[in-house]
Structure 1
Amino acid sequence: MNINDLNFKLSRRTLMGGAALLAATQMLGASNARAQNADRKFAAALGWTTYDSGRHLQDGFTAAVQELGGNLTTTDAGFDAKTQTDQIDSLIASKPDALFITPADAVAIAPAVQRAITAGIPVFCADSAVPGVAVNTTSMSNNFGMGAYSCEHIAKKLGGKGKIARVLLPQNESWDQRTLGMEWTLRRYPDIKIVADWAFALAGNVTPRQAVDNILTANPDIDAIWCAWDGAAVEGTLAARAANKPDLIITGIDGGSQAFTYIAGPSQLKLSMAQSFYEMAYLSVFYAQQHLSGKKTPRLVITPTYAVDESMLKAGIPDDFDVPGRAAELGWVRAV
């Protein structure tokens, strides 16, 4: 063995030993942080826990509290604003160290959120902003950008000319921004005509499937359907199959296993703007911990969105794409 080989082995051994020590130190630091934060009491007033979006949000809150420390109480409003308002008031009375909220109807629950702030409880929102209320941190997607991007996808597929319908989601002010982004994109495509609109109402009796059935019956020559969320896009795909419309183009917004399965099919559902719900929730807990430790926190965080099409799902359907770092491992690049 020459001296260079010896130096290499010593250097490599030193490097590996240093890496192991760093990893051990990081694990010890995380363990210490959990111990220091163990007595912190958190509450989450979730607007919904159904669908992939609700499940990923709930998983993000749960994992973050487990990893960063504290105890978590969770409620589920099932998309009902009155129920969520009552749940927020009940959680205020329990005096948590911080309150996490995912609003289904942000305007309707704004007074309850303000009551939490007035009571001195730090509030952290995920997925949607609450208008007129100064919460500590909101972690959410670029809704305007997602609407614009998915509309651009349709416009390019149609070569800038065709007939489209829209399934809208005006219930939440943040979600409605998707429609505004879509409309901004269409200004550059005057030969694309909107021939039908349907606005979903949480308390309504018409399902997205029924609405798309009616749209396709009234407009048999339609080329595409832009949907403000994946639930409508999936139901629209089922309607397109029933109507024997194999060439119809459908896009959605949210991401998750259900939509990805249809996209990979392949099917009429061609694109989902996949949001980082898990990361939104995790950020809420992380910044609550930072705030309670006397550190600065951002007022607004825009989390990554990935424009997922069939080509990105060749290796399988990932359910953990929105765990921080996982999208990079998959080779996915942030679109918005």
Structure 2
Amino acid sequence: MNFDTLNFGLSRRALLGGTAALVAAQYLGSTGARAQAADRKFAAALGWTTYDSGRHLQDGFTAAVQELGGSLTTTDAGFDAKTQTDQIDSLIASKPDALFITPADAVAIAPAVQRAIAAGIPVFCADSSVPGVAVNTTSMSNNFGMGAYSCDYIAKQLKGKGRIARVLLPQNESWDQRTLGMEWTLRQYPDIEIVADWAFALAGNVTPRQAVDNILTANADIDAIWCAWDGAAVEGTLAARAAERPNLVITGIDGGSQAFSYIAGPSQLKLSMAQSFYEMAYLSVFYAHQHLEGKKTPRLVVTPTYAVDQSMLKDGLPDDFDVPGRAAELGWVRAV
């Protein structure tokens, strides 16, 4: 679902460039409704705010609350599930009108999320679902589709035959779907062989750079590396440069200025599945307002992902590609 299809009567100019009062007036209608929206108290328990993904999510929450109404209290767990659990419990005690969550370890924080729901607090998740917990709305990418698409890109670059390695991200159930999508695509390419796997662990001592260094040392004839996220893809690119492997094909998932700079380089990083993090966050705030007004909200919204290669970056590195409407201005078309 693209944000541009939401029918609440706002132009992109008004939505993104107008004052909070003007935007609230257009979408909320009456003076009483605007005043009610302005008084709402929101909280966001963010799993991380680092990297382009975390920054775009945080920017989306902040902008949406400023433009649609309310106040926002934000915490950052730094990818630590215990910290995020404690932060959620603290935010529950503050009794917000709605709680926004970006889960780094969705399984581990599920009991805390359930406690928020039991306390009568509407919960809206961005980027990942929380298994076994009925939150109001989850806005996220098609993780299976991103994994499948990026794997197909590698397969076509290799003309259906070659040796590849994988850097995996099993920490989160949603993120692990990327690996399942990748594996599904490989069923169509029996002449592509997986020769090395490495699974990232948040609490581990090995970095993606070190892992790829080891993979390249042990596999002199490797052709490509499929990475479950752009952080690993960027570090893998640095490893490939150090190993003098100019023909290696590397793909990643996330999008943002750092990955785009390597793709535009050019470098071994050829493709990023660029997610709409800003839009995920904005949708969470929008649907929180809708819910608090007694309106229906979707259980799941699948936000756009763009398959960004060098040809799409010839006119610059757009950091705002996931602001609703911007991708269309760039001429980008969603891939999944």
Specify the SS of the correspondent of 2:270. strand
Amino acid of the residue matched to residue 207 of structure 2?
T
After the TM superposition, which segments of 4 or more aligned residues of structure 1 sit over 2 Å from their partners? 23-36
Amino acid of the residue matched to residue 26 of structure 2?
G
Listed as ranges, the matches of 1:16-31 within 5 Å are: 28-29=25-26
The answer to whether 1:84 aligns with 2:84 is yes
Question: Which residue of structure 1 aligns with residue 161 of structure 2?
Answer: 161
Specify the SS of the correspondent of 2:63. helix
Amino acid of the residue matched to residue 312 of structure 2?
M
The answer to whether 1:266 aligns with 2:266 is yes
Specify the SS of the correspondent of 2:201. coil
Q: Percent identity?
A: 89
Amino acid of the residue matched to residue 102 of structure 2?
T
1:274-303 CA-partner distances (Å, limit 9, x unpaired): 000000000000000000000000000000
Amino acid of the residue matched to residue 107 of structure 1?
V
Q: Are 1:34 and 1:67, in contact at CA under 8 Å, matched by a contact in 2?
A: no
The offset of 1:46, in angstroms, is 0.1
CA–CA separation in structure 1 for the residues paired with 2:111 and 2:40? 25
Q: Are 1:168 and 1:197, in contact at CA under 8 Å, matched by a contact in 2?
A: yes
Normalising by structure 2, we get a TM-score of 0.92
Please list every run of 5 or more consecutive structure 1 residues that lacks an aligned counterpart in the other structure.
1-22
Question: Which residue of structure 2 aligns with residue 142 of structure 1?
Answer: 142
Question: Which residue of structure 2 aligns with residue 242 of structure 1?
Answer: 242
CA–CA separation in structure 2 for the residues paired with 1:271 and 1:265? 12
Question: Which residue of structure 1 aligns with residue 186 of structure 2?
Answer: 186
Question: Which residue of structure 1 aligns with residue 221 of structure 2?
Answer: 221
CA–CA separation in structure 2 for the residues paired with 1:38 and 1:127? 26
CA–CA separation in structure 2 for the residues paired with 1:106 and 1:45? 12
CA–CA separation in structure 1 for the residues paired with 2:260 and 2:90? 37
Please list every run of 5 or more consecutive structure 2 residues that lacks an aligned counterpart in the other structure.
1-17
Listed as ranges, the matches of 1:34-183 within 5 Å are: 34-183=34-183
Moved more, 33-42 or 312-321: 33-42
CA–CA separation in structure 1 for the residues paired with 2:34 and 2:317? 33
Specify the SS of the correspondent of 2:43. strand
Listed as ranges, the matches of 1:297-308 within 5 Å are: 297-308=297-308
1:231-261 CA-partner distances (Å, limit 9, x unpaired): 0000000000000000000000000000000
1:3-37 CA-partner distances (Å, limit 9, x unpaired): xxxxxxxxxxxxxxxxxxxx999754258554331
CA–CA separation in structure 2 for the residues paired with 1:115 and 1:151? 39
CA–CA separation in structure 2 for the residues paired with 1:183 and 1:273? 17
1:160-208 CA-partner distances (Å, limit 9, x unpaired): 0000000000000000000000000000000000000000000000000
Question: Which residue of structure 1 aligns with residue 287 of structure 2?
Answer: 287
Amino acid of the residue matched to residue 156 of structure 1?
K
Specify the SS of the correspondent of 2:319. coil
Amino acid of the residue matched to residue 231 of structure 1?
G
Question: Which residue of structure 2 aligns with residue 3 of structure 1?
Answer: none
1:30-78 CA-partner distances (Å, limit 9, x unpaired): 5855433111000000000000000000000000000000000000000
Amino acid of the residue matched to residue 37 of structure 2?
N
CA–CA separation in structure 1 for the residues paired with 2:311 and 2:205? 36
Amino acid of the residue matched to residue 29 of structure 1?
Q
CA–CA separation in structure 2 for the residues paired with 1:52 and 1:219? 31
1:113-132 CA-partner distances (Å, limit 9, x unpaired): 00000000000000000000
CA–CA separation in structure 2 for the residues paired with 1:72 and 1:243? 47
Question: Which residue of structure 1 aligns with residue 11 of structure 2?
Answer: none
CA–CA separation in structure 1 for the residues paired with 2:73 and 2:38? 14
Amino acid of the residue matched to residue 137 of structure 2?
T
CA–CA separation in structure 2 for the residues paired with 1:135 and 1:26? 30
The offset of 1:143, in angstroms, is 0.1
Q: Are 1:34 and 1:70, in contact at CA under 8 Å, matched by a contact in 2?
A: no
Specify the SS of the correspondent of 2:44. strand
Question: Which residue of structure 1 aligns with residue 202 of structure 2?
Answer: 202
Specify the SS of the correspondent of 1:121. coil
Amino acid of the residue matched to residue 314 of structure 2?
K
